[in-house]
């Protein structure tokens, strides 16, 4: 299941300009909840949520060359905003989404402006420190987050009496938003802003000499990354109906980074492929018993070492060879 989903993503990117095949792919994706088991659909929902969060990390890494290890902070802000407002204050779900997004973007702007002057591993360490601070605050501010007890009873999303209370129903919302975020990233990457981002990634000195405001450009992308993280966190809270500090640790930030790197940071579809991989591969390897974590680690190392362009890059090579066997 995981391999077929990953292959489908690579094919979708390769044939993005072929409307008929693209339409067929959309129809196939829409039909998945109707033919898959509830447990597999549940995994697809989580893969969609992780795709949205991973898109922000991939955007920063692929187009700015910035390693962001703070995405779990914005993920947690989105989740806790939704949980607190809907459970403790009885506010509508849209309020949780909005407050989480505004708070995340404001923090990204205020913190990103000073720390994005740094480069390389110093910047990565700064974002790691932000993730550690955020995790500690989630734990200490138990009056707001519930601490280790968490917040439960978060209502399911719904509209007009229709509740998204099953994995199949939630699937369509999550993946609609995930594809919308992918479209946003694609439009950004092909715009003038995307060209400036690639210029700063390839050579900071050359970009600065062309008059590009490097600091402000990076800050804006960091704010977009925070928005994606908050959106994913709010969706996670509504889907699981429970949030606690264990879900927003530094480890989660590393997971989002792994998602973007595994899939391929140069591809819009990369985070989706990476999310599918880390969601389905452990489930598949669990049949091998206690050794499954070792096997998963070896699989990660194999992908990183063997596929420099990530899973999407490797699958694109395979696709081109299948379509044009006489070349290369």
Residue 108 within a domain: yes
Residue 268 banded pLDDT, cuts 50, 70, 90: confident
| Contact indicator for 134, 70 with CB cutoff of 8 Å | yes
- Average pLDDT of 68-92? 94
Task: Tell me the per-residue pLDDT of 234-254, one tens digit each, with 9 for 90 and over.
Answer: 999 999 999 999 999 999 999
Task: Tell me the per-residue pLDDT of 160-208, one tens digit each, with 9 for 90 and over.
Answer: 678 888 999 999 999 999 999 999 998 888 888 878 877 777 777 776 7
Decide if pLDDT at 57 tops 70.
Answer: yes
Domain that holds residue 148: 38-265
| Contact indicator for 104, 230 with CB cutoff of 8 Å | yes
At residue 2, the pLDDT reads 47
Q: Helices (H) and strands (E) in the chain — how many of each?
A: 15, 4
- Average pLDDT of 295-301? 85
At residue 253, the pLDDT reads 92
Residue 303 within a domain: no
At residue 150, the pLDDT reads 92
SS3 state of residue 163: strand
Around 190, how many Cα atoms within 13 Å sit in the side-chain half-sphere? 7
Q: What share of the chain is helix, strand, coil (3-state, %, to 5)?
A: 80, 0, 20
Residue 13 banded pLDDT, cuts 50, 70, 90: low
Q: What is the pTM of this model?
A: 0.88
Residue 9 within a domain: no
Residue 20 within a domain: no
Cα(63)–Cα(291) distance, rounded to whole angstroms? Answer: 37
Residue 9 banded pLDDT, cuts 50, 70, 90: low
Geometric angle at alpha carbon 312, from 15 and 186, rounded to 5°: 65
Give the number of domains in the chain: 1
| Contact indicator for 108, 70 with CB cutoff of 8 Å | no
Residue 323 within a domain: no
- Average pLDDT of 7-20? 52
Q: How high is the mean pLDDT of the chain?
A: 85
- Average pLDDT of 68-72? 93
Task: Tell me the per-residue pLDDT of 80-90, one tens digit each, with 9 for 90 and over.
Answer: 999 999 999 99
Decide if pLDDT at 6 tops 70.
Answer: no
CB-based burial label for 92 (10 Å; 0-12, 13-18, 19+): exposed
Residue 43 within a domain: yes
What are the structure tokens assigned to 26, written together? 């959309």
Residue 76 within a domain: yes
From residue 126, alpha-carbon distances to 58, 60, 66 in Å are 18, 15, 11
Residue 167 within a domain: yes
List, in sequence order, every residue forming a beta bridge with 152; answer none if it has no partner: 242
Geometric angle at alpha carbon 200, from 60 and 252, rounded to 5°: 15
């Amino acid at each position: 299941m995981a391999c077929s989903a990953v292959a489908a993503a690579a094919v979708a990117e390769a044939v993005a300009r072929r409307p008929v095949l693209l339409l067929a792919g959309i129809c196939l994706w829409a039909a998945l909840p109707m033919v898959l088991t509830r447990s597999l659909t549940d995994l697809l929902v989580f893969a969609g949520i992780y795709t949205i969060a991973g898109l922000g990390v991939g955007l920063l890494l692929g187009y700015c060359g910035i390693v962001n290890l703070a995405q779990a902070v914005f993920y947690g802000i989105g989740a806790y905003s939704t949980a607190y407002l809907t459970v403790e204050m009885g506010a509508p779900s849209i309020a949780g989404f909005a407050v989480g997004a505004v708070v995340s973007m404001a923090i990204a702007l205020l913190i990103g402006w000073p720390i994005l002057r740094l480069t390389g591993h110093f910047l990565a360490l700064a974002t790691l420190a932000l993730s550690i601070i955020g995790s500690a605050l989630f734990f200490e501010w138990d009056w707001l987050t519930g601490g280790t007890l968490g917040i439960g009873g978060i209502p399911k999303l719904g509209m007009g009496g229709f509740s998204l209370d099953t994995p199949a129903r939630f699937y369509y919302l999550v993946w609609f938003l995930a594809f919308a975020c992918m479209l946003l990233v694609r439009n950004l990457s092909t715009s003038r802003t995307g060209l400036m981002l690639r210029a700063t990634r390839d050579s900071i000195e050359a970009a600065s000499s062309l008059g590009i405001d490097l600091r402000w450009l990076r800050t804006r992308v960091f704010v977009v990354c925070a928005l994606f993280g908050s959106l994913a966190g709010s969706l996670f809270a509504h889907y699981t109906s429970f949030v606690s500090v264990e879900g927003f640790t530094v480890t989660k930030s590393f997971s989002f980074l792994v998602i973007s790197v595994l899939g391929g940071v140069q591809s819009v579809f990369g985070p989706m492929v990476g999310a599918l991989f880390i969601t389905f591969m452990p489930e598949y390897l669990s049949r091998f018993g206690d050794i499954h974590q070792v096997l998963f680690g070896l699989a990660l190392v194999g992908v990183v070492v063997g596929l420099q362009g990530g899973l999407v890059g490797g699958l694109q090579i395979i696709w081109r060879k299948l379509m044009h066997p006489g070349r290369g």
